Amino acid sequence: MIPFNKPPYTGNEDHHVMAAMRSGKMSGDGDFTIRCQTWFEEKLNCPKALLTPSCTQALEMAALLIDIQPGDEVIMPSYTFVSTANAFVLRGAKIVFVDVHPDTMNIDETQIEAAITEKTRAIVPVHYAGVACEMDSIMALAEKYKLFVVEDAAQAMMSTYKGRALGTIGHLAAYSFHETKNYTSGGEGGLLLLNDESFILRAEIIREKGTNRSQFFRGQVDKYTWRDIGSSFLPGELQAAYLYAQLEDAQEINTRRMHIWNSYHQAFAALEKSGVLVRPTIPGHVTQNAHMYYLKLKDFSIREKFIKHMQERGILTPFHYIPLHSSPAGEKFGIFSGVDRFTTVESERLVRLPIYFNMTQEELDTVIAAVAEVMSIIG
């Protein structure tokens, strides 16, 4: 069986996790947490990076930091993971979904302005498959209407938009280190980027259960007290140790994934030319991180046949999100602004192929051959 994903493993994880276990500091903000955060701040050129137990919790921190209140509206695509919406719904917000571009599956920036009302508080672009949304247009709208932009960059580590790292363009951003991502912290894991320095002090307080404990440990105050709302947004040191091993080999991981992605892309060019499928589109002004390789098939029925035939050959090729606006909670907590021209129909065509750092050349060749065989049967 060739799985859809295997968590990346470089070889140094064992050593670093053992070192963290023996450090006497396992509850968070130890040496490996600091190393990881420094790596991100330097690599991404951002004012502050804070590790969190998950991307979900990074998004929840963002909602707290921009002070989302009941009745506020937050604009985002419907084609995203539930955490993107949940983080703001938990604060009482109404989610306003807008359509996506059919080529990238990213939020259609031309549809955002029509969705803005006097209650709108934020825009949450989701960089699907590590491919950048049109951030210049989104930031211009945010400035015009005095809105916050929270980048959901869960899939976008090492991707750029016009030379800028994704996650560093909006006011805040959230990354994921779930085991399905390019880099993992051993299962779950997340990161909050603070691109506006005015958020830093409060973010540290919110992350430490609403206390100024971080300042206390730095010797800036003689005791720490309850200062604000907050929660336990601090990851364990074992998570940070596992992640740091991956960051040490980040370029190697990225290079290997790009090789797999490019191999797929080249292999399926003829099938796209014949009209039986569509390959991913990467705009010329962005760089992507090979987080995902997907195909667009003719319709839902063909996709179901494809998944079945691939599974019979021992290869897992799952579809992805069911649009949030069509879910029970999406109908309860949100509305769709404008017309759903592409979100639903395009989501029903999309299927993902296996891609992971430790994928062997034999596995890659097997997947490519199987896709060609299955498309000759069902195409």
pLDDT the model gives residue 87: 98
pLDDT the model gives residue 214: 84
pLDDT the model gives residue 341: 98
- Between helix 31-44 and helix 237-248 the angle, nearest 10°, is 40
Taking residues 327-348, report their average pLDDT: 98
Mean pLDDT score of the chain: 96
DSSP 315: B
Q: Nearest Cα to 78, choosing from 295, 349, 348, 334? A: 334
Which of the four pLDDT bands, split at 50, 70 and 90, describes residue 180? very high
Q: Please report the beta strands in 48-189, taking only residues with DSSP state E, as ranges in sequence order.
A: 48-52, 73-77, 94-98, 120-123, 148-152, 160-161, 164-165, 172-176
104: Cβ contacts below 8 Å, ≥ 6 apart: 128, 129, 131, 133, 280, 281, 283
For residue 276, pLDDT over 90 is answered with yes
Taking residues 204-232, report their average pLDDT: 88
**CA–CA gap between residue 335 and residue 12 (Å, rounded):** 47
**CA–CA gap between residue 28 and residue 35 (Å, rounded):** 12
pLDDT the model gives residue 265: 98
Taking residues 77-92, report their average pLDDT: 98
Q: Which string of DSSP letters, residue by residue, matches 22-73?
A: TTT--SSSSHHHHHHHHHHHHHHT-SEEEEES-HHHHHHHHHHHTT--TT-E
Which of the four pLDDT bands, split at 50, 70 and 90, describes residue 149? very high
For residue 186, pLDDT over 80 is answered with yes
Sign of CA dihedral 7, 41, 67, 203: positive
Which of the four pLDDT bands, split at 50, 70 and 90, describes residue 217? confident
Taking residues 209-231, report their average pLDDT: 87
pLDDT the model gives residue 298: 97
- Between helix 250-267 and helix 361-378 the angle, nearest 10°, is 30
Q: Whole-prediction pTM value?
A: 0.96
pLDDT the model gives residue 223: 82
**CA–CA gap between residue 253 and residue 247 (Å, rounded):** 9
Return the percentage of the chain with pLDDT > 90, whole number. Answer: 94
Distances (CA, A) of 313 to 2, 188, 317, 353: 9, 30, 11, 13
